[in-house]
Structure 1
């Protein structure tokens, strides 16, 4: 981590925490000057019911991602019966506030509708039929949002940490060709959207990120429209900052691909204290600096920005405080570090 960032974050925690001031330029304004989109995942229930959340989401971010409402179980809970209502509401909100929309996610092994997983498990959906279902799902969803989505997470989390393909129902039923198929189908449905691979634990150079690099190299050589690599960025301060982040981004850029940080949060073992918050700030800033320094890294998305609605405590027992603001929308040193990084353009 750059020494200047460590010093900056240490100084930040000595100041008084405050809510993001209307008198200061919001993150989105600074991001525009830095030629990057600053985004957040959006909780649609909170957006509908919490006026502070709604106002802050509009003020601070120029990109939004649906936290859940574009996933398969949400948009097609019953076979052939699509429900776009909540996803459409996010797109309308984004349009009204001058925000771009990232699409998340077309193909994943989780949050699939029960009619699909049950049908595969009991054999009532054959492999050939499953391939047709996948084609129809990707085509229908991408066409529904055609012209509204600037980046799609097409395939999500297809490798295990050791670099082998995840043994999902997609691999079991369709073989590895489903990955290329998904990109081809998405591109046919909306040729202008940028199409991404997306995963966690791929911030630095390791077996998993190298597997993605090799996959992307091969698919692109075959003419498959794999155009971006999404690094989720779910970090924990107790594990240390990943090494080689800039080098990892650079090798994908050398392939001619875009890169993006797509789901950034930095959790800690609770309770939070000044030292932990200072460390957290350096982690956010380290990922942002790597993005700003890399050709083709044009979006940096946090996975929620307030602890009030963070997914982390519900999944990681005893951990939390993972976002830029606390439960009362009071900014943390991490917010100031991101703000400073955007303002400096690196």
Structure 2
């Protein structure tokens, strides 16, 4: 297959040249075959990892199935999103689900995965007991909640979706909730300031995201207002639940160009591409699409695999994008019952799994044998990330970070 302009852009933004000088006891390893293995991508290939919480906490109904899903998860991803929906995390005030979620977060972090918490403030799935409080008390409870979670999980989770879907927050009318009441009272920008100030104070080292599904100018106006108010945002989160059909390259790149003008890194925080019938286009709120059954189909799976490849390639070709999070590994338990996972309800991988596995681990992975020259040097162009190089049982690790051509001296004694 011939290389496309998108493929060239991916290589330009995601790979770098490296020259390694290899020695053993100070002497060049000349004319030797060495083995290069990429251990981890710098780019964050992410997915929800709620199954890891069940597995690590010992509460999985079917531990073998949970372990299998986590194994499949690790075949694709290095970046996990864990659930902090307030109404489920602390359904009874003062009794948060810290221990169980922390077990899952530690398990993932110990395996080398970056972990993000989602979300700290959101009007949906928020705590019902907030309705018993006045707005000042709701604000105090929200700030305390942020400081508690960020403190309890610091060093394990240092990346957070601080506030979710602020554009719609004060006008949300599906049901009454404390967060909408508060945001309607104080306004969007003061709400963002309050939660980001609390998060920054609780963990100054954390990466803090503003996240939204609204890709209209309303989100741009919010971002501009937030930045003009001097509120520090580390990353912009863009959601892309494509239940009504794949966006396509032109729309996706257009959105990226619009939101990259703020000079902030971009994470595609919630991506879904279905492998069955697409949702009718006239649906405005995706939650309004209620069906008894939404099966994955062979035709849909073939389409999903193609669209997954196109979507991931498009995002990697744009220099502002640092992460992609897919919103669900398996069709079992997917949001809205959609057939959007990489794995069917019977736990078998779909073609989209195999396609992304090939991209991440082969096309975008850098592995293989190299031969040193007479001065012990090897040269290669590799995707950014962490590497291991080995010769006859001796090994060294290094990082290719894209700050220029890497010139490293490694001793394999």
Match among 129, 140, 148 for residue 140 of structure 1: 148
Secondary structure of 1:91's aligned partner: helix
**Which position in structure 2 is the counterpart of 1:327?**
345
The verdict on how the C-alpha distance between 1:30 and 1:217 changes in structure 2, with shifts beyond 3 A counting, is farther
**Which position in structure 2 is the counterpart of 1:184?**
197
**Equivalent-residue separation in structure 1 for 2:222 and 2:326 (angstroms):** 26
State the 1:340 CA deviation: 4.1
Structure 1 range deviating more: 254-263 or 54-63:
54-63
State the 1:135 CA deviation: 1.3
Secondary structure of 2:343's aligned partner: coil
State the 1:107 CA deviation: 0.5
**Which position in structure 2 is the counterpart of 1:214?**
221
Is the CA contact 2:75–2:357 (under 8 Å) kept in the aligned structure 1? no
Match among 103, 107, 113 for residue 93 of structure 1: 107
Match among 47, 50, 69 for residue 40 of structure 1: 47
Secondary structure of 2:332's aligned partner: helix
**Equivalent-residue separation in structure 2 for 1:191 and 1:228 (angstroms):** 15
More relative contact order in 1 or in 2 (CA 8 Å, sep 6+)? 2
The verdict on how the C-alpha distance between 1:62 and 1:112 changes in structure 2, with shifts beyond 3 A counting, is same
Query: Normalising by structure 2, what TM-score?
Result: 0.65
**Which position in structure 2 is the counterpart of 1:155?**
163
The verdict on how the C-alpha distance between 1:271 and 1:84 changes in structure 2, with shifts beyond 3 A counting, is closer
Is the CA contact 1:230–1:259 (under 8 Å) kept in the aligned structure 2? yes
**Equivalent-residue separation in structure 2 for 1:263 and 1:104 (angstroms):** 11
Whether 1:307 and 2:331 are equivalent positions in the alignment is yes
The verdict on how the C-alpha distance between 1:165 and 1:213 changes in structure 2, with shifts beyond 3 A counting, is farther
Unaligned runs of 5+ in 1: 6-28, 120-124, 314-319
**Which position in structure 2 is the counterpart of 1:110?**
124
Match among 220, 227, 241 for residue 234 of structure 2: 227
Query: Normalising by structure 1, what TM-score?
Result: 0.76
State the 1:198 CA deviation: 1.6
**Equivalent-residue separation in structure 2 for 1:136 and 1:83 (angstroms):** 15
State the 1:200 CA deviation: 2.6
Structure 1 range deviating more: 189-198 or 262-271:
262-271
Whether 1:199 and 2:212 are equivalent positions in the alignment is yes
**Which position in structure 1 is the counterpart of 2:71?**
55
- Aligned pair count reads 297
**Equivalent-residue separation in structure 2 for 1:197 and 1:338 (angstroms):** 27
Task: Write out per-residue CA displacement over residues 226-246 of structure 1, whole angstroms, 9 at most, x where no aligned residue.
Answer: 12121222112x545255212
Of Structure 1 and Structure 2, which has the larger fraction of its residues in strand?
2
**Equivalent-residue separation in structure 2 for 1:272 and 1:31 (angstroms):** 33
**Which position in structure 2 is the counterpart of 1:246?**
253
State the 1:183 CA deviation: 1.3
**Which position in structure 1 is the counterpart of 2:296?**
272
Of Structure 1 and Structure 2, which has the larger fraction of its residues in helix?
1
Secondary structure of 1:89's aligned partner: helix
Task: Write out per-residue CA displacement over residues 54-93 of structure 1, whole angstroms, 9 at most, x where no aligned residue.
Answer: 3333443211111x3x221233332233330221011121
Unaligned runs of 5+ in 2: 6-36, 174-179, 278-293, 365-382, 384-413
Is the CA contact 2:167–2:214 (under 8 Å) kept in the aligned structure 1? no
Whether 1:261 and 2:283 are equivalent positions in the alignment is no
**Equivalent-residue separation in structure 1 for 2:99 and 2:119 (angstroms):** 17
State the 1:186 CA deviation: 0.9
Cα RMSD, aligned residues only: 2.9
